[in-house]
Amino acid sequence: PTTYAPYKVKDMSLAEWGRKEIRLAEAEMPGLMSLRAEFGPSQPFKGARIAGCLHMTIQTAVLIETLQALGADVTWSSCNIFSTQDHAAAAIAAAGTAVYAWKGMTEEEFNWCIEQTLFFGEDRQPLNMILDDGGDLTNMVLNQFPEMAAGIRGVSEETTTGVLRLLERVKVGSLPFPAFNINDSVTKSKFDNKYGCKESAVDAIRRATDVMMAGKVAVVAGYGDVGKGTAASLRGAGARVIVTEIDPICALQAAMDSYEVKKMGDAIPRADIVITTTGNCDIIREEHFRALKDKAIVCNIGHFDDEIDMAWLNKNYGHTKDTVKPQVDLYNIDGKEVIILAEGRLVNLGCATGHPSFVMSASFTNQVLAQLELWKDADKYENQVYTLPKHLDEKVARLHLAKIGVELDELTPKQADYIKVPVEGPFKSDLYRY
Ligand code: NAI
């Protein structure tokens, strides 16, 4: 980059409000706060220049300030054009963080923001660690600035879709440093993806539309971790939920959780609400759009905006697009109106504020532990994708028990020997599925 911008956010007058919400979030993020207490004094991240690309929310602000409290220099961008909470960005900018993020940016600005995070301070020192969500930052570095790779110790990747991209790189031999897969820590995907979406899916549809949920037919595409949480969210709000799947195991799970499981083509004419959770492309396409009821709500909670074929919709019916309010658009398909949320991008961060702090604390505690491991011991690892060892996964869970009053029993030595685990854990083999 030619010119240096110390930060770029929407409105610095929001900083005080952001700071107040960060304080409230800290109280809900015991994992991160206990890492500050445990590692703050020894400053293990001294010399680390961590570039992060992850939804710039209040919860992420607590993550960023935890990395800083452990001694890191941090730059940040958001991994989605709609997911920034402007008061969160303003608050950390006011505290001196190099953050480049605002809600409602263009694709061009999105790339500009990520690019700013590659270089630190006025003397433009290059990043030496990556913290990513979805892989856009990693891809920019490796595709556009490959010469930077040699100075980077590794990457920790937050989500299913980004992990898929990393595994693809391992396969073709284009991953030049080790990577940690945060998503597949049990305390990430079985909590954030599931219980997080259980709270944030309906929250987003309500904030966007105020539609009555009870009695409505909602179609949830995909019954993985995000699908399980999303279907539970809609059921909890009183909707009648139909699930679609391609995997017989997940389809059977959905059926035995007492959801109807149908083909998309058959379910779609009944849908009042459709939400895609697959991390796959082309889930809602022309034939489905044409089969929808008038005023059906269509949205996506997976990472990228190609689950719903927005390209087809915009090409053929873009001229009918009528914006009700930001991130809520009506399209008229030959006389029938369809309500599209967040332009097909992940709805819980586009139309609401993402997951609550408590569950993000578990995800982000995994992130900090992985960053610590990479910064300290990257040489121990090959250029492969790793998950954190189970004892750290269990540690993340343990750090979140007291806050909600959970009391654990302890194994006696006889019991531990009987089930062949150490008294202090890990308590399960790596094959255990939770
Ligand atoms: P997953 O792999 O556990 O679940 C995806 C499911 O979709 C699988 O069961 C798969 O069989 C199914 N599927 C694939 N193609 C399908 C098709 N054509 N029709 C019906 N079902 C199909 O993945 P996970 O963890 O649930 O993540 C899904 C997406 O959500 C990813 O893009 C991930 O990055 C994103 N994500 C979003 C979050 C948010 O807050 N919005 C939080 C966590 C993940």
**Which atom number of ligand 1 is nearest to the Cα of residue 226?**
26
pLDDT of residue 54: 98
Nearest CA residue ID for atom 32, ligand 1: 279
pLDDT averaged over the chain? 98
pLDDT over 60 at 296, yes or no? yes
Residue with tokens 């015991």: 30
Measure the CA–CA gap between 100 and 89, rounded to whole angstroms: 8
ipTM above 0.85, yes or no: yes
195-216 average pLDDT score: 98
Cα of 191 vs centre of ligand 1, distance in Å, is 14
Q: What percent of the chain clears pLDDT 70, i.e. is strictly above it?
A: 100
271-290 average pLDDT score: 98
Distances (CA, A) of 271 to 217, 262, 328: 5, 12, 18
pLDDT of residue 3: 75
Catalytic site residues? 55, 78, 83, 133, 158, 183, 188, 192-193, 197, 303, 355, 363, 367
Cα of 432 vs centre of ligand 1, distance in Å, is 21
- For residue 424, count CB atoms less than 10 angstroms from its CB and return exposed for 0-12, middle for 13-18, buried for 19 or more: exposed
pLDDT over 80 at 2, yes or no? no
66-84 average pLDDT score: 98
Cα of 278 vs centre of ligand 1, distance in Å, is 3
411-420 average pLDDT score: 98
Residue count of the chain, please give it: 434
Strand partners, 221: 244, 276
Helix (H, G, I), strand (E, B) or coil at 405: coil
pLDDT over 80 at 312, yes or no? yes
pLDDT over 70 at 406, yes or no? yes
- Is 366 labelled as part of a ligand binding site? no
Per the CB < 8 A criterion, the answer to whether 94 and 77 are in contact is no
Ligand 1 pocket residues where CB is under 6 Å? 159-161, 189, 192-193, 196-197, 221-227, 244-247, 250, 277-280, 283, 301-303, 346, 348, 355
- Is 223 labelled as part of a ligand binding site? yes
pLDDT digits (tens, 9 = 90+) for 137-174: 999 999 999 999 999 999 999 999 999 999 999 999 99
Nearest CA residue ID for atom 9, ligand 1: 224
Kindly give the pairing relationship between strand 179-181 and strand 385-386.
parallel
Nearest CA residue ID for atom 19, ligand 1: 245
Nearest CA residue ID for atom 42, ligand 1: 193
Nearest CA residue ID for atom 23, ligand 1: 224
253-272 average pLDDT score: 98
Q: What is the DSSP string of 128-194?
A: -EEEESSSHHHHHHHHH-GGGGGG---EEE-SHHHHHHHHHHHHHT---S-EEESTTSHHHIIIIII
Q: pTM value?
A: 0.97
- For residue 394, count CB atoms less than 10 angstroms from its CB and return exposed for 0-12, middle for 13-18, buried for 19 or more: middle
CA dihedral over 63, 202, 400, 390, signed as positive or negative:
negative
Kindly give the pairing relationship between strand 217-221 and strand 240-244.
parallel
Cα of 185 vs centre of ligand 1, distance in Å, is 16
Measure the CA–CA gap between 190 and 20, rounded to whole angstroms: 30
Per the CB < 8 A criterion, the answer to whether 176 and 150 are in contact is yes
- For residue 433, count CB atoms less than 10 angstroms from its CB and return exposed for 0-12, middle for 13-18, buried for 19 or more: exposed
44-49 average pLDDT score: 98
Per the CB < 8 A criterion, the answer to whether 86 and 14 are in contact is yes
